[in-house]
Amino acid sequence: MDRLHMEDPARAGVTTLRDGRRSAWAEWGPADGRPVLFCPGAGWGRRLGFGFGAATALGVRLISVERPGSGESTGMPGRTLLDWADDIGQLGFADPAVVGFSQGAPFALALAARGITSEVAIVSGGDELAHPGTTLPDEVRRLVDLVAADPAGAERDFARFGSAETLWRLSVEGSSEADREIYLQPDFAAAFRRALDTGFAQGPAGYARDTVLHFARWPFRVEELTARVHLWYGGRDDNPTHSPDHGTTLAARIPNATRHYLPDSGAALLWTHAGEILRQLLAQSPGTPT
């Protein structure tokens, strides 16, 4: 396994939204590049990126935005997936492409539902686990049922459970050997742990709300999305809260979906196949190098 190259953000800042809340972001690549918004995984802050060389070669401005309650972004109790999309709509990007990783998937698709983006890549993404047609492992079904029966109680439980150390341990211990080879590389592990420490800087409330939104029914129908959606899954992705069938059902539900299944890859294909993911995402975008 080749050693991954990790980079700190080229730029970082905070934007004040109309209601006075703060939305914190970090970015890589040329400042005047094609904007690609990154919706990161569970509990992450904004400083863990991907595809740095590919972003530069493709002229991509990769922007990671911290969700409410994460890092330096102001919390918003009771928020929905579409509230998140409305926040992003205030940042002023013109038809950005979007990448959603793991628990970032429903947030990325919410941007498509609001018409903010027409190009989405979901990588090792969390499926709509509460959709009636989804077959789930027992431990995931219990969480879906808990959120449906008592969302406020579930959110309190997730807050008691969530911490940077807990999510780091789960990411390593609950992953396949293919992913552990990535996550335990010293440079990657340091960047990953910093992202979690940053994400939980205000405490677990942001993570807990995100998790409720992932496990609940989504407030939009993916069957009505008009965006082009690329679904990327690895056959060695062992995370039961991603997609139980590696995106097969989700691809059938989304009208303009293309499923990319890599049988020998794990969840970390966002880093091992970053260039391919970005090139496919931007293939139909005007002015993008090939």
Tokens of 22: 């703060």
CATH homologous superfamily, domain 11-281: Alpha/Beta hydrolase fold, catalytic domain (3.40.50.1820)
pLDDT of 288 above 70: no
Phi/psi zone of residue 89: left (φ > 0), alpha (ψ -120 to 50 degrees), beta?
Answer: alpha
Per the structure block, which two tokens stand in for 60? 């991509």
User: Each residue of 199-244: pLDDT tens digit?
Assistant: 999 999 999 999 999 999 999 999 999 999 999 999 999 888 898 8
Domain ranges of the chain: 11-281
Collapse the DSSP code of 202 into the 3-class scheme (helix H, G, I; strand E, B; otherwise coil) and give the result.
Answer: coil
The percentage of residues in the chain with a pLDDT greater than 70, rounded to a whole number, is 97
Q: What is the pLDDT of residues 131-151, one digit of tens each?
A: 988 889 999 999 999 999 999
Q: What is the rounded distance in angstroms from the CA atom of residue 242 to the CA atom of residue 129?
A: 9
Q: How far is CA 112 from CA 81, 168, 224, 237, 269, in A?
A: 11, 30, 10, 25, 23
Query: What are the two backbone dihedrals, phi and then psi, of residue 280, each rounded to the nearest 5 degrees?
Result: -65, -40
Arithmetic mean of pLDDT over the chain: 95
Neighbours of 77 (CB within 10 A): 9
Q: What is the pLDDT of residue 174?
A: 87
